[in-house]
């Protein structure tokens, strides 16, 4: 059956999706599928290479035997999970969190952030984000009709020539102030940061928070890697009552318990803000997967007493150190993360063959895409080109870098290191 061009015109897609180009994930997956070097070692997308802890998977299996856990969860989340989150975070926030009014469970942290944008951003209102950014922020804000203002984090001056700290990436407060105007509704920040690994310092957060109080802005603080800090970690919502009154904190049970496919996220914040996040969430997906909420509740109830948080943090820090040893060996600069599980490494010393044939959709993109494609095709190792997390005018900042996710088994990390050693013959 075919349609005339006039009939097809009636089916034209909405502008909010029609203009979206092929994304980095599909390009990297395409390369991985077609690579002559198999099996691919995938250190691109940030999914875990191992199962959640047994006390969490056992809870998931038990939940499937409970009738109520197999039916719709309440829109704002299962009561047990909201109570467990409130109990786990109240000491960290320095106040009692009300599980009924100050917590909402969402279908992953990403849907939670979409709900926050849908709940507060009117078409034409502006949202400030720091660059580089998690790419989903962009589409989520645009879906709500928001306009994005970008403020680049300033990388360390020596980052391209020697090992540096993610904490050395700095906020230009003057640029941030200039990005705010009468249309600005919200600021989004991510700490620990993806892809940089930066933990915003207390003084940086205080300056940002005070500015938001002064300009009466909502703060969306994406803290999904909050259980993986390697340096001192401050939560935005703890800085002052005035800052807390405008801060929505985003969390992820999937990140916390190594189960990103479960899609269990949550937001914590003042009741008058959570109310409208929950209202938008209801319209987007009504409720989130019920049995896995119950399992996540058990996770939060037992994690502290079992020493899981500290074990998780130590293991991930060890994985970062284990993997980065190969960059020391090769003499490639990298950024030591303050937290999370991403590492940025600089490949300026790697010289790609001048006659190498890249497909057109890679050849037209910045150098990091070519590096990523070459690494997959020739070494069988997948990483993410971080220019995807920049606006066009600032892509130059990242064109020699690649992002690696180290949340994999140690033998996988060792395999990845061995493949990276194959780059020696391409290095100057």
pLDDT band at 144 (very low <50, low <70, confident <90, very high): very high
DSSP per position, 234-276? --GGGS-HHHHTTEEEEEEHHHHTT-GGG--EEEE--HHHHHH
pLDDT at 17: 80
Mean pLDDT within 375-387: 97
Phi, psi dihedrals of residue 220, rounded to the nearest 5°: -105, 105
Look up residue 43 and give its DSSP letter: -
> Taking the C-alpha atoms of 214, 219, 225 and 230 in order, what is their torsion angle to the nearest 10 degrees?
0
In this predicted structure, the answer to whether residue 281 has a pLDDT above a threshold of 90 is yes
In this predicted structure, the answer to whether residue 330 has a pLDDT above a threshold of 70 is yes
Percent of the chain with pLDDT over 70: 99
pLDDT at 1: 57
**What are the residues whose beta carbons fall under 8 Å from the beta carbon of 298, sequence distance 6 or more?**
55, 56, 59, 84
- What's the distance, Cα to Cα, between the start and end of the chain in Å? 57
Stretch among 8-22, 157-171, 306-320, 342-356 having the lowest mean pLDDT: 8-22
- pTM score of the predicted model: 0.95
**Which has the higher per-residue pLDDT, 21 or 134?**
134
**Which has the higher per-residue pLDDT, 377 or 16?**
377
CB-based contact 41:418 (threshold 8 Å):
no
pLDDT at 297: 98
Encode pLDDT of 335-360 as tens digits: 999 999 999 999 999 999 999 999 99
Encode pLDDT of 73-131 as tens digits: 999 999 999 999 999 999 999 999 999 999 999 999 999 999 999 999 999 999 999 99
Q: Omega before 132 cis (within 30°)?
A: yes
pLDDT band at 240 (very low <50, low <70, confident <90, very high): very high
pLDDT band at 258 (very low <50, low <70, confident <90, very high): very high
pLDDT band at 401 (very low <50, low <70, confident <90, very high): very high
pLDDT at 15: 81
């Amino acid at each position: 059956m075919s349609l005339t061009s006039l009939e097809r015109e009636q089916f034209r897609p909405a502008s909010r999706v029609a203009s979206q180009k092929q994304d980095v994930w599909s390009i990297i997956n395409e390369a991985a599928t077609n690579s002559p070097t198999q099996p691919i070692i995938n250190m691109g997308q940030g999914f875990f290479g191992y199962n959640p802890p047994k006390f969490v998977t056992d809870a998931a299996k038990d939940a499937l035997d409970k009738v109520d856990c197999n039916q719709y969860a309440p829109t704002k989340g299962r009561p047990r999970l909201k109570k467990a989150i409130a109990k786990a975070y109240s000491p960290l926030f320095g106040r009692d969190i009300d599980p009924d009014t100050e917590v909402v469970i969402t279908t992953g942290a990403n849907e939670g952030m979409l709900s926050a944008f849908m709940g507060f951003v009117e078409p034409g209102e502006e949202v400030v984000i720091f660059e580089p950014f998690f790419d989903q922020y962009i589409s989520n804000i645009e879906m709500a009709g928001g306009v994005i203002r970008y403020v680049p984090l300033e990388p360390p001056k020596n980052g391209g020539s020697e090992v540096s700290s993610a904490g050395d990436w700095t906020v230009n407060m003057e640029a941030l102030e200039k990005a705010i105007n009468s249309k600005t509704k919200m600021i989004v920040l991510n700490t620990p940061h993806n892809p940089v690994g930066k933990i915003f310092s207390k003084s940086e957060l205080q300056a940002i928070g005070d500015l938001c109080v002064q300009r009466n802005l909502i703060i969306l603080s994406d803290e999904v890697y909050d259980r993986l800090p390697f340096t001192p970690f401050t939560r935005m919502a703890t800085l002052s009552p005035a800052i807390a009154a405008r801060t929505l904190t985003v969390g992820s049970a999937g990140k916390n318990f190594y189960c990103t496919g479960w899609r269990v996220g949550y937001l914590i914040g003042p009741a008058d803000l959570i109310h409208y996040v929950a209202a938008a969430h209801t319209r987007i997906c009504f409720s989130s997967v019920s049995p896995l909420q119950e399992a996540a509740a058990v996770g939060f109830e037992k994690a502290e007493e079992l020493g899981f948080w500290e074990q998780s943090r130590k293991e991930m820090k060890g994985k970062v150190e284990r993997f980065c040893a190969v960059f020391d060996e090769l003499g490639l600069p990298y950024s030591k993360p303050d937290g999370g599980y991403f590492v940025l490494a600089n490949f300026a010393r790697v010289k790609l063959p001048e006659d190498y044939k890249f497909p057109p959709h890679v050849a037209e993109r910045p150098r990091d895409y070519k590096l990523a494609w070459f690494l997959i095709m020739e070494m069988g190792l997948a990483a993410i080109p971080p220019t995807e997390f920049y606006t066009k005018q600032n892509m130059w900042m990242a064109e020699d870098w690649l992002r690696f996710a180290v949340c994999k088994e140690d033998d996988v990390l060792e395999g990845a290191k061995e493949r990276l050693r194959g780059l020696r013959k391409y290095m100057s």
